Structure 1
Amino acid sequence: MPEVKTDLVCTGCSLLCDDIIVEVEDGKILHTHHICARGYGRHYQVNFKYRILKPTIKATRENKEISYEEALQEIVSLLKNAKNPFFYGWASATSEAQQKGIQLAQKYSGLIDSASTFTTGSAVQQFIQKEIKVPKLSFIKDNADVLLFWGSNPTASHIRLLSKYALLARGLNTDRGIEDRQAITLDIRRTDMSKFCPNFLIITPGKDKILLESLIQIIQGKSFSEESVANISRKDLYEIAGIIKEAGFGVVFFGNGFVKTDENMGTLFHFLDILNQKGVKFGAIPLDGGYNSVGFNMNLKKQVNLELNADFRKNPPIQNRDLFVTMLKKGKIDLLFVLGSDPISNFPFNLSKLIAKIPIITIDFQQTPTTKISKVVIPTTIPGVESDGTAYRLDFEPITLKKFLNPPNGIHSDDIILFDLLEMS
């Protein structure tokens, strides 16, 4: 008879949906409910044919299976002999693992950075630095009547956002769902958001700042003579500004397409300030894919008072937006410790070639191009499925992850692996 597990949290993305229902029998998942395609893929990785079940070490051209203890000893030896170890990934790791990863980087005077630094990490950094409050998803569901999606496509990245909290959701003051809301999407190409947003406008790449400045100018009632800006006509600009000014409460959901420079973020914060001065309540939320990308920035702030990344070779440690790429191009990284990421797949080929020249340690639950070339690999559990933990949702809200399956024999959670490494160091 299947056992029904309820109120589980999905780690398929940073939305961290907390209403998942799973039917389990004999340690296997039979059925899942309230889950999207990304979440489905995440949960069924339990029985994935490319699941890693044993620690390995690179021996000539092949990977040789070794014991967990031998893998730990090899990693500690590599760390002790490295001059510039770089700890990379972390956006898809629990907060407990992130905290221990920061400690490990500090212990070995290394460097640590999140994969989300290349997406919305720098935006999260500025929210934390400036102490800007991010609106809670529950409040958005109940109150947001204007939604602006800028350089983001939640139909692919955060699939249940529209139905659970945003455009289609029915809340206390938005009980008619989409009929009580107006949505605008600004992107450089047509996406599936066009099916939900009549106001879907294609903008010129790299012109986000000037477009936002034009909207600010119109909202402030200043003279505006341009016939078009960033491929948006004067008529459409005034229509967008009019919708925004009439908002009871509005939200900007921005993605990687918007976070190109710190100038864009500065202009966005100015935009929010202008609206609030005029009595229009508006907030903003970065949309990042890693289920705990926000957590890395939050934990770094708590532990070492930095918000983006850390170079522990300096005392006090410093941060730099281009830390990983700069070190990589200069050939300064002599050991790469990867957890919660697959840099060989994620980076352009010219950078992947440089990464492939470095000895790599990888902690992961599945085979990836990065694990295949790693010096040492230790398998881990799937958080929220086979192990507990904590993660920060995209609205900066801490969420508790609950395990509902036992992991394969000998497989440990990422935070336990890091704890063991700290104990042996």
Structure 2
Amino acid sequence: MRDVSIVGMGTTEFGVLDAGVKDLGVRAVSRALRSCDVSRADVDALYLGNFVAGILEGQENIAPLVADSVGLTGIPTMKTEGACASSGIALRQAYQAVATGVHDVVVVAGVESMTSAETTEFTRALNSAADTQTEGKTGLTFPGFYGLWLDRYTYEHGTTREEVAAIPVKNRKNGATNPRARFRDPITIDDVVESRLVADPLRLYDCCPAADGGAALVIAASDRARELTDTPIQVLGSGHASGRSGAYRYDDLTTLDATVTAATDAYAQANISPTDLDVVELHDCFSAAEIGDSEDLGLFEKGEGATAAAEGITAVDGDVPINPSGGLLSKGHPVGATGIGQVYEACLQLFGEHENQVEGAELALTHNLGGSGAVCTVTVLGRDA
């Protein structure tokens, strides 16, 4: 297996962009190619993550359309789909192709256009990530799933509503200074606990907003990386796992096995432990998700995730900085683009160029989760020596 590096990256803002998936993909890929010394002739393949363009736009086959539009006609392309983890999976596939020597230079992207859809159509599209024959029949939505999760968690650990609310407050504070974020207005604990009820006990500010967006990377074999950029970022570990198909399948609802397995694999490849990480971008689709993700990734013991946020441990200047970008709760969640968007934010941290810079960041992790814990990717990144 060869070492793999990120040598270029590009992104759009995340928000209401009034653009379709092909346009957003072209913007992101073009920016990634312009960020490094990679010519179109150098690119061997393109992998692109997308979830609901077929439902919302009637547009499938996105990867070759984007490739052709940016002058990469003729190379192999692939669209990957894994609900909210779609572009995390695209990165995993691209990483494996380079690591095994199948390709030397690969473009990997994620894209989604969501905000122009009607609420009913949008909800139906997102619910296609669930098992339509089980949870779909009962009407359980993803806010409902995480509402059940949080009910069980607070019962077991005595976590207070105010401690949970500290997570969206932190992430909105971080997002206020991130120009790529959809929401940039800070909020308070009272704002969260008094906001509109969505799926008890989750309220409006506990839930991430929809967004449009695209993000892209150029990855290459590490022995070529210095030819292509002065600032490569190493992909030190890549984990990918599946989990339970719905809430009724869990013995312990508060542990999502896909995250545990993917993280274990990524840590082993990188030869690190969770305590070695300097910064984490994880999948906070709901405030409850950040709690569970942080514990499943081994950053905290069970019952400590919300308390850590309330005590400032997960702040930008805390001991375990989580989502200094603002996360999904602030940036928004253009589903197919989220995983690569997280890597973009993590790379800025490793460059020392993030708007909410974690001092001395050298080792980062990104975590991208799909469905009711049905699929997960975890990537460990390191500053090139």
Q: TM-score, normalised by structure 1?
A: 0.23
Greater Cα radius of gyration, structure 1 or 2? 1
Q: TM-score, normalised by structure 2?
A: 0.24
